[in-house]
Amino acid sequence: MTFDPKDCGTCPIRHRAVCARCENDELEQLEAVKFYRSFEAGQPVIWSGDTMDFVASVVSGVASLSQAMEDGRTQMVGLLLPSDFLGRPGREFAAYDVVAVSNLTLCCFRRKPFEKLMSQTPHIGHRLLEMTLDELDSAREWMLILGRKTAREKIASLLAILARREASLGLRPQAKDTVFELPLTREAMADYLGLTLETVSRQISALKREGLIQLEGKRQVIIPDYAALLAQTGDDCDGAIMS
């Protein structure tokens, strides 16, 4: 089944996005106000303060939300992957800078009709609540990383998170090694982790030197022993979030 933009039934994120719980009649109403937009890697999607007349789901690719300080320091505060939701119903102006980290396709809904639909039907609101609570949880995990971890632990944590997501997609046949493509540049990783890109580079080199990771080119990461990497994150291993 290939993806037909006219038919939500064939959409790759149909069962995980904000529309996951919608009945057919709700989907039809959404389809009436939806449109697709694509961005190339590195392109801005919207700047903080701009008027935002749509909300959107990420169909493919990766987008980042960042906040800037007046002197130019910047911190990534959200990383949007396929099926994640962009925008806030009821908010007219964007609160963050949004950038396409990789090539990106959004499924956009005009904001006003979306809000109206949300107030009339329960499924969108419920799903959005669930997704927002999940995002709050990951924001809190992220806060622990930013506030208390060393540079080495930060890098290990990020790699572990990406590897875990890769595994959860379940696409990979039972390979011993976890392999994935880094969707972020060194600079974006630094932005994510509250480090400089030099420190990121040094720590990745160190992990490679010690055999905890291998690199195929700059972006392909191979993790020969996931547990060994986890041990470098500093996390309390049995303290996993249960939901």
Partner DNA sequence: CGAGTCCTTGACGAGGCTCAAGCACGGTGG
Partner DNA sequence: CCACCGTGCTTGAGCCTCGTCAAGGACTCG
Q: Is 15 in the site for its own copies (CB under 8 A)?
A: no
Q: According to CB under 8 A, which one of 129, 165, 169, 187 is a site residue for its own copies?
A: 129
Residue 91's region, left for phi above 0, alpha for psi from -120 to 50, else beta, is beta
Q: Is 187 in the site for DNA (CB under 7 A)?
A: yes
What residues from 86 to 125 belong to the interface with its own copies (CB under 8 A)?
88, 90-93, 95-96, 122, 125
Q: Is 73 in the site for its own copies (CB under 8 A)?
A: yes
Least distance to DNA, CB of residue 29, Å: 40
Q: According to CB under 8 A, which one of 5, 12, 14, 74 is a site residue for its own copies?
A: 74
Polymer length of the chain: 243
Which residues, in sequence order, are CB contacts of 26 under 8 Å at separation 6+? 19, 117, 121, 123, 124
Q: Is 152 in the site for DNA (CB under 7 A)?
A: yes
Q: Is 44 in the site for its own copies (CB under 8 A)?
A: no
Residue whose pair of structure tokens reads 């964007």 in the numeric block: 94
Q: According to CB under 8 A, which one of 15, 37, 126, 208 is a site residue for its own copies?
A: 126
| Residue 7 DSSP class | -
| DSSP per-residue codes, 14-82 | TTTSTTTT--HHHHHHHHHTEEEEEE-TT-EEE-TTSB--EEEEEEES-EEEEEE-TTS-EEEEEEE-T
Q: Indicate the residue among 173 and 239 with the shorter CB distance to its own copies.
A: 239
Q: What are phi and psi of 65, to 5 degrees?
A: -105, 130
Task: Give the distance from CA 94 to its chain's centroid.
Answer: 18
Q: Is 173 in the site for its own copies (CB under 8 A)?
A: no
Residues of the shown chain interacting with its own copies in the complex, contacts defined by CB under 8 A? 48-49, 65, 67-71, 73-75, 77-78, 88, 90-93, 95-96, 122, 125-126, 128-130, 132-133, 135-137, 139-144, 146-149, 193-194, 234-237, 239, 241-243
